[in-house]
Amino acid sequence: MSINTPFNVTLTEGQIGVILCSLEKYVKDADPNYQYSEIDTIFEILEGAVDKYYNKLEAARKKQPKAEW
């Protein structure tokens, strides 16, 4: 198994938020010469997962019929 082997994990939106906030703090406090491409990739994956979930939820809501009372 290599260090680049992908894993599927289940995280809550809150847990993803904690990870993203922690990474933001790390980047803010880190060496300005540090290359952040790996952190940027992690951000894209985590934010993309949340966005994908809400896009899927919104698409499902649009398919629901309107109640006409």
pTM: 0.75
CA–CA separation, 37 vs 42, rounded Å? 9
Residue 57: predicted pLDDT: 94
What would the pLDDT profile of 6-58 be if each residue is shown by its tens digit?
899 999 999 999 999 999 998 888 887 777 888 899 999 999 999 999 999 99
Decide: 16 and 50 in contact? Cβ < 8 Å: yes
What dihedral do alpha carbons 16, 18, 21, 23 form, nearest 10°?
-80
CA–CA separation, 4 vs 41, rounded Å? 13
